Structure 1
Amino acid sequence: MSDDPDLDSAYALKTPADSVRLYRAWADSYDRDFASANHYVLPAEVARHFALIGGHGPVLDVGAGTGLCAEALSRRGIGPVDGVDISPQMLDTARTKGVYRDLFVGNILEPLQTSQVYQGAVSSGTFTNGHVGPDGLDPVLAVMRQGGWIVVSVNALHYAATGFEAKIKALGDTITDLSHTEVSIYGPDATGPHAKDTAFMVAFRKA
Structure 2
Amino acid sequence: MNNDPRYDPDDTPDLEAAYALHTPEDSKRLYRSWADSYDSDFIDEMDYRLPQHVARVFLTARPEGPVLDLGAGTGVMGLLLDGQVAPVDGTDISPEMLAVAARKDVYRRLFKGDLTTRLDVADGAYRSVVSAGTFTTGHVGPAALDEVMRVLAPGGCGVISVNARHWQSEGFADAFAALRSRLSSLERIEVSIYGPRNTGPHAADKGLVVRFHKD
Q: Normalised by the shorter chain, which TM-score bucket?
A: over 0.9
Deviates more, 1:41-50 or 1:27-36: 41-50
Aligned match of 2:36 in 18, 28, 40? 28
Task: Name the counterpart of 1:2.
Answer: 8
Q: Which amino acid aligns with 2:113?
A: G
Q: What is the CA RMSD across the aligned residues, in angstroms?
A: 1.1
Task: Name the counterpart of 2:118.
Answer: 111
Runs of 4+ in 1 over 3 A off after TM superposition: none
SS at the partner of 2:42? helix
CA distance in structure 1 between the aligned counterparts of 2:25 and 2:86, rounded to whole angstroms: 31
CA distance in structure 1 between the aligned counterparts of 2:180 and 2:45, rounded to whole angstroms: 40
The reply on whether 1:134 has 2:132 as its aligned counterpart is no
SS at the partner of 1:18? helix
How big is the shift at 1:82? Answer: 0.5
Aligned match of 1:84 in 81, 91, 98? 91
CA distance in structure 2 between the aligned counterparts of 1:172 and 1:94, rounded to whole angstroms: 33
Aligned match of 1:52 in 60, 81, 90? 60
Q: In the alignment, is the contact (CA less than 8 A) between 2:130 and 2:158 conserved in 1?
A: yes
Q: Which amino acid aligns with 1:106?
A: G
The reply on whether 1:197 has 2:209 as its aligned counterpart is no
Q: Which runs of 5+ in 1 are unaligned?
A: none
SS at the partner of 1:51? helix
CA distance in structure 2 between the aligned counterparts of 1:5 and 1:105, rounded to whole angstroms: 21
Aligned match of 1:168 in 168, 176, 179? 176
The reply on whether 1:101 has 2:108 as its aligned counterpart is yes
How big is the shift at 1:70? Answer: 1.2
Q: What do residues 90-121 of structure 1 show as CA deviations (whole Å, max 9, x unaligned)?
A: 00000000010001111111121124711100
SS at the partner of 1:49? helix
Report how many residues are paired.
206
Q: Which amino acid aligns with 1:170?
A: A
Task: Name the counterpart of 1:16.
Answer: 24
CA distance in structure 2 between the aligned counterparts of 1:25 and 1:60, rounded to whole angstroms: 25
How big is the shift at 1:54? Answer: 1.6
Aligned match of 1:145 in 148, 153, 169? 153
The reply on whether 1:120 has 2:114 as its aligned counterpart is no
Q: Which amino acid aligns with 2:88?
A: V
Task: Name the counterpart of 2:4.
Answer: none
Q: Which amino acid aligns with 1:114?
A: V
| TM score, norm. by length of structure 2 | 0.93
The reply on whether 1:43 has 2:51 as its aligned counterpart is yes
How big is the shift at 1:6? Answer: 0.4
Q: In the alignment, is the contact (CA less than 8 A) between 2:22 and 2:137 conserved in 1?
A: no
The reply on whether 1:159 has 2:157 as its aligned counterpart is no
Deviates more, 1:115-124 or 1:178-187: 115-124
CA distance in structure 1 between the aligned counterparts of 2:182 and 2:168, rounded to whole angstroms: 22
CA distance in structure 1 between the aligned counterparts of 2:212 and 2:62, rounded to whole angstroms: 12
How big is the shift at 1:150? Answer: 0.2
